[in-house]
Amino acid sequence: MENIGELIGKYGFPIIAAFGMGGFVYYVWTWVTKEVKPVLSEANGILIALIDRIRVLDNDLIRLNQKIDTVLQLRGRTIEKEKIEADKKINGQTDS
């Protein structure tokens, strides 16, 4: 601690504070590049994979909805034909 006091007395507080902040910035920079950046890179890769999976699922849902709509339309036509045939049978039996 006396050494820091001597340095402040010799060079002044602003100069010593600037060197201290420079050391802090260097420490944070090395910590970020060694610890945080690899984790972010890995998370970015995982995020891209998840987005691709979501796109695939979305495309699958769109295809399934189209198939369901088609089946419901065809089933509706079949039901309508069966209703018309049943009406014809009923009307045909009552007429005779």
pTM, 2 dp: 0.52
pLDDT value at residue 94: 57
Closest by CA to 26, choosing from 16, 37, 18, 14, is 18
Domain span at 11:
2-95
pLDDT one-digit tens code per residue, 11-47:
999 999 999 999 999 999 999 999 999 999 999 999 9
pLDDT value at residue 41: 92
Q: What's the mean pLDDT in 57-74?
A: 93
**How much of the chain, in percent, has pLDDT values that exceed 70?**
95
Per the structure, the count of domains in the chain is 1
